Structure 1
Amino acid sequence: MRSTLAALIALSIASFGLSACHPHERTFGEKVQDTLDPPKGPVEKAGRAVDRATK
């Protein structure tokens, strides 16, 4: 129970920091990648969003 609570708190702190990022216009290459190889779940979708936000 404690480890779940600690993970939830860590995740909420990390996502709070990312919420300050402004979404950017997707480039043509990003649109093509999402069309040809769409994310296969919420984790991969979040990973791509984080990767694109930190470029």
Structure 2
Amino acid sequence: MKIIHTLAVAAGVAALAACNQSPQEQQADNIEANAEATADNLEEAADNATTEATEDSLENQADATREAGEETADSVRDGADADGNSVN
């Protein structure tokens, strides 16, 4: 029961923290999360690949996807900072 209560409190705190984010920051976070999920799927496919070359290719795609997601998110954040629309 304590674990459920702790998780509920943690979820509430996380929700409140999200309220203080600008729309651009939320968009950047979503971009990163989507890129991370896609990269995780590519790595899972790499683990199930039948050849070494396919595995290497999928792992390289996962790395590139993560990097592109981070760069795009950083660009969104930088744009928010330049516009003066960031929380910080």
* Superposition TM-score, scaled by structure 2 size: 0.28
More helix per residue: 2
Choose between structure 1 and 2 for higher RCO, CA contacts under 8 A separated by at least 6 residues: 1
Kindly name which structure, 1 or 2, has the bigger radius of gyration based on alpha carbons.
2
* Superposition TM-score, scaled by structure 1 size: 0.40
